Amino acid sequence: MRKEKTDMSKRLWSFLVLVVWVLAACVQPIQPTIKIGINAPLTGDIPKVGEGTKFAAELWLEEIGGAITVGGQEYQVELVIEDNESKGESAAAVNTKLITQDEVLVIVGPQASKQAVPAGGVANDLETPMISPWSTNPNTTLNRPWVFRTPFLDPFQGPVVANFVTEEFGFTKAGVLYDIASDYPKGLAEFFKSAWEELHGEGSVVSFESFTTGDTDFSAQLTKIAEAGAEFIFAPQYYNEVPLIVQQAHELGFTGPIVGSDSWGSAELVNLCGEDCYGAFFSTHYAAEGATGATKEFIDKYNAKYGYVPDDVAALTWDSLNIVKTAIEDCGQITGDIKADRKCVRDAMANLKQFPGITGNMTFTEDGDPIKCAVIVRISEEGKFTFYKQICP
Amino acid sequence: MDVTPGSLPNRWRRIRQRLGRFWAPYRSVPMLGWLVAALVAVLLEQSLGLPLARGLGLVRIPALFGVAIILDAPILFPAVLAYVLLIYLIPIALVARYTAPLANRMARWLTSYPMVVGALVHLLILYGVLHIWTGVSDYRLLVARFTMIAIIATLSLNVVNGYMGEFSCSHPGFMALGAYTASVFNILLFVSDNRFGEALLPPVLGPFLFPFSLILGGLVAAAGALLVAIPSFRTRGDYLAIISLAFMFIVKSLFENLEVVGGARGLSNQPNYSTLPVVFVWTVLSIWIINNFVRSTVGKALNAVRDGELAASAMTVDTRKTKMTAFLFAAFWAGVSGGLFAHVIRYINPDTFGIRKLAEVLAMVYLGGLNSVVGSMVGAVGLSLISEALRPLEIYKWIIIPIILILTMIFRPSGMVAFREFDVGAILQPKDEPEKDVDYAAA
């Protein structure tokens, strides 16, 4: 009998200890905070993109001193960075979690279109403003009033390249080599083709060759392009394929220029490509070398902190976060009612005029796409991305 | 084998004994009791969850039992633990234990009716639990739907890789066929968009015709499977793996080049038809049908073919027909799961149905267990929830999950719950009669 009693009291004591321990751990002061969700591909196919996103976001948080002042009151800013594994369904799940669990005010990301399209659907359905720094698929923002993006669209970039080559070199015969299995290169190649043929007539794209993601031997396609008499090659490829294409083109004796798109703008490109890429041109959002003003400040800070020159993803993420910040400030107040605050931020974002970003000035269209200028970059003889020209719509 | 006291096997035994003693009262809880207990827990969470979570210092109700919170902020571990204990574990344990006699009486009463009635009652309660649990947050809802779709996909792959004993790699391809077929069907008929133009039928009909679109998707997938089966079943061994892998890539590049369904840019605008009840019903249907299939004569023949094709053939099994049926059947369900998937995520892209999807489904099959319907469910639910809960670990997640897989392969080479029959009758039985194998102390 007695033993049982001690057992009981022992149990009671341990229960009390547990309760006290729990309560002690839980007492936390509640401060007004603004939560910003970052939906980034930290693992999966494009981890470098995820890293750039994360670094830019952390640098931005440091830059603003971890707080935003709205209507005279200072609010702490908290970044909720989540990994989407560069999968569409994960990106949707991450957005749902950010919106319903973490109750973020606004979401920055996802980067690639494959994730941004489904995630944008979630954000729009749950009425939370989202801005994708990198996605170029029209479906990301189409008919979605809550979704915005920072990069220009491919239908704009294609003609930019076509005009630039025509003015710069006076060529009339183009060759195109692109990845048919990836939406970005395919879309851009087609927009370029139609723009070029509008300028130089039917058949002026003398060779329109494709390959599939993961291919490493392009000699057959490059030979065809050379034999068709193309004066230059347009290769809107990601940085990991460009070096192979350029090197193989040179080995096959192709001497004309090779022109690329914003997907070339990775610090890795020159490391992989070496001298073969020197002198090549590509259109992009910003140029690291020769940058001035705020752009240069950003690059220097990033370089000092992380040890390499930021890619366009980092720059666009930076701009997206600043757009978000401006929109929150424009809002005038944070009511604490998350629904009302989200609506307010969305409206403020849609009303931004000539927002001065480091990748150019932006004004959003009805669809949430920016109207902005493109930059033509030349890879210098030192392997640096140098500003060559700015082309506005 | 003599075991000295205090040596590892002995200590193990003592721990197991103690666990057995603790577990003893729960052995008489029937499935009905567990379900009712779970229902009580989720109702408790719905009514008291938020104030309790706030009281414990959590901002809101933890999404997936708080694992993600612990990984994000380890300081909240006691709070999360207390929450899980107070909301889930203690109420479930108490209710299950003290309503066991009542639940057993109910279960016995249900057994006097045809089994369908009992099964339906259980399923209704299960759905109630899911409905209330997912009602707390949209995130849970999404995860629950993805998990159930993973169950269908895993089960269908298990028919080929487990029951038939061949190695098929074409499941993402079948899922893609199902997903695209169902999507095109629904977008064409019920959605006005700039790709297919005006809706051909009034959108009100959409949810009612959704099952047809899924079945159509399944049939197209089965037709695709025929293309793999005809050349590959003439051969033996690894050839199916290679041919089916090739098929997966063919399907992927087919959709990449089909501009009419968006090419590499993908297809979006699917209507939101994959709601929780819809996915739940299809999951139950797939489990029921696949379970019956593998326990039928064809299923037995299938196992015979796996263990010895020549012997099976000598015992009058039409091996070719059996394999063909099973393969097409599996492809059908993969197509259905693809169709459901497309309408949950509401955007599909050829790239989604690639080698990564294959790795995911294969991992679920092999983790859960070959040749087992329960195993497939365990594998699909386990891996889905683990990978969702471990997301905050970022890159380390991809070290932990493979390690889990490796450990499973070392200690349980055929998976967690392999080669076990899924017997609905046994699950629904009352449990208060003394079982013959209660000798857990000696186990």
- DSSP letter string, A347-365: HHHHT--SEEETTEEEEE-
Of B57, B143, B264, the CB nearest to A182: B264
Q: Report residue A215 CA to chain centroid gap.
A: 25
Band of the pLDDT at A392, cuts 50, 70, 90? confident
Tokens of A124: 């729009």
Considering Cα of B185, then B186, then B187, then B190, what sign does the dihedral take? positive
Band of the pLDDT at B127, cuts 50, 70, 90? very high
Cβ neighbour number for residue B124 with a 10 Å cutoff = 11
Which residues make Cβ contacts (< 8 Å) with residue A58, sequence separation at least 6?
A79
Range B410-430 average pLDDT: 84
pLDDT for the residue B441: 44
Q: Do residues B299 and B293 lie in contact, with contact meaning Cβ atoms separated by under 8 Å? A: yes
pLDDT tens, B352-393? 898 989 999 999 999 998 888 999 999 999 999 988 888 888
Asked if A236 has any chain B CB less than 8 Å from its own CB, the reply is no
Of B79, B256, B391, the CB nearest to A26: B79
Q: Evaluate if residue A25 carries a pLDDT over 60.
A: no
Range B193-211 average pLDDT: 88
| Whole-number average pLDDT of chain B | 88
Of B256, B391, B398, the CB nearest to A180: B256
Q: Where does B39-128 show beta strands of DSSP type E?
A: none
Of A21, A101, A212, the CB nearest to B60: A101
Q: How far apart are CA B415 and CA B435, in angstroms?
A: 27
Range B36-55 average pLDDT: 90
Please judge whether A101 and B139 are an interchain contact, meaning their C-beta atoms are less than 8 angstroms apart: yes
Mutate to test the interface with A, among B345, B358, B361, B390 (most CBs of A within 10 A): B345
Q: How far apart are CA A189 and CA A195, in angstroms?
A: 10
**Higher pLDDT, residue B146 or A274:** B146
Band of the pLDDT at B434, cuts 50, 70, 90? low
The residue in chain B having the minimum alpha-carbon distance to the alpha carbon of residue A96 is B139
Asked if B320 has any chain A CB less than 8 Å from its own CB, the reply is no
Most confident of A8-17, A33-42, B312-321: A33-42
Please judge whether A26 and B76 are an interchain contact, meaning their C-beta atoms are less than 8 angstroms apart: yes
- Measured between its terminal Cα atoms, the distance across chain A in Å is 90
Q: Evaluate if residue B34 carries a pLDDT over 80.
A: yes
Tokens of A235: 């290769």
Range B153-171 average pLDDT: 91
pLDDT tens, A219-239? 999 999 999 999 999 999 888
Band of the pLDDT at A264, cuts 50, 70, 90? confident
Range B19-31 average pLDDT: 85
Q: How far is A169 from chain B (nearest CA, A)?
A: 32
Lookup result for tokens 């639940």: B103
Q: B46: which strand partners?
A: none
Asked if B391 has any chain A CB less than 8 Å from its own CB, the reply is yes
The residue in chain A having the minimum alpha-carbon distance to the alpha carbon of residue B265 is A183
pLDDT for the residue B335: 97
| Whole-number average pLDDT of chain A | 87
**Short-list A27, A190, A284, A31, CA closest to B75:** A27
Please judge whether A183 and B264 are an interchain contact, meaning their C-beta atoms are less than 8 angstroms apart: yes
pLDDT tens, B220-231? 999 999 988 888
Q: How far apart are CA B125 and CA B108, in angstroms?
A: 17
pLDDT for the residue B115: 87
DSSP 8-state code for residue A152:
P
Please judge whether B397 and A43 are an interchain contact, meaning their C-beta atoms are less than 8 angstroms apart: yes
Q: Evaluate if residue B436 carries a pLDDT over 60.
A: no
Asked if B397 has any chain A CB less than 8 Å from its own CB, the reply is yes
What residue spans define the domains of chain B?
27-135, 143-358
Please judge whether B264 and A43 are an interchain contact, meaning their C-beta atoms are less than 8 angstroms apart: no
Q: How far apart are CA A132 and CA B348, in angstroms?
A: 19
DSSP string across B253-289: HHHHH-GGGTGGG-EE---S---HHHHHHHHHHHHHH
Q: How far apart are CA A21 and CA A25, in angstroms?
A: 6
Residue A344, amino acid: C
Mutate to test the interface with A, among B70, B347, B388, B401 (most CBs of A within 10 A): B347
Q: Do residues B191 and B271 lie in contact, with contact meaning Cβ atoms separated by under 8 Å? A: yes
**Higher pLDDT, residue A62 or A17:** A62
A178 three-class SS? strand
Q: Do residues A162 and A374 lie in contact, with contact meaning Cβ atoms separated by under 8 Å? A: no
Cα-based distances in Å from A276 to A230, A246, A250, A271: 19, 7, 8, 11
pLDDT tens, B70-108? 887 888 888 888 999 998 999 999 999 888 889 988 888
Q: Do residues B139 and A96 lie in contact, with contact meaning Cβ atoms separated by under 8 Å? A: yes
Q: Evaluate if residue A382 carries a pLDDT over 70.
A: yes
Q: How far apart are CA B15 and CA A121, in angstroms?
A: 51
Range B128-137 average pLDDT: 92
pLDDT for the residue B16: 86
| Chain A residues whose beta carbon lies within 8 Å of the beta carbon of residue B137 | 100-101
Q: Where does chain A show beta strands of DSSP type E?
A: 33-40, 67-70, 73-83, 106-108, 130-132, 147-149, 174-179, 205-211, 232-234, 258-260, 281-284, 355-357, 360-364, 370-371, 374-379, 385-391
Tokens of A11: 């149990």
Asked if A97 has any chain B CB less than 8 Å from its own CB, the reply is yes
Q: Give, for A12, the enclosing helix (H) or strand (E).
A: helix A2-26
Q: Report residue B288 CA to chain centroid gap.
A: 13
Q: Evaluate if residue B442 carries a pLDDT over 70.
A: no
| Chain B residues whose beta carbon lies within 8 Å of the beta carbon of residue A181 | 252-253, 256, 264, 350-351
**Higher pLDDT, residue B435 or B120:** B120
pLDDT for the residue A340: 92
Q: Evaluate if residue B26 carries a pLDDT over 90.
A: no
Q: Do residues A231 and A195 lie in contact, with contact meaning Cβ atoms separated by under 8 Å? A: no
pLDDT for the residue A247: 92
Mutate to test the interface with A, among B70, B265, B270, B387 (most CBs of A within 10 A): B265
Tokens of A33: 């905070």
| Sheet bearing A73-83, strands edge to edge | A67-70, A73-83, A33-40, A106-108, A130-132, A147-149
Q: How far apart are CA B279 and CA B145, in angstroms?
A: 6
Lowest mean pLDDT among A242-251, B124-133, B201-210, B423-432: B423-432
Residue length of chain A: 393
Give this prediction's pTM: 0.86
pLDDT for the residue B224: 94
Percent of chain B with pLDDT over 90: 44
| Chain B residues whose beta carbon lies within 8 Å of the beta carbon of residue A114 | 266, 349, 351-352
Q: Evaluate if residue B410 carries a pLDDT over 60.
A: yes
Range A88-99 average pLDDT: 92
The residue in chain B having the minimum alpha-carbon distance to the alpha carbon of residue A44 is B395
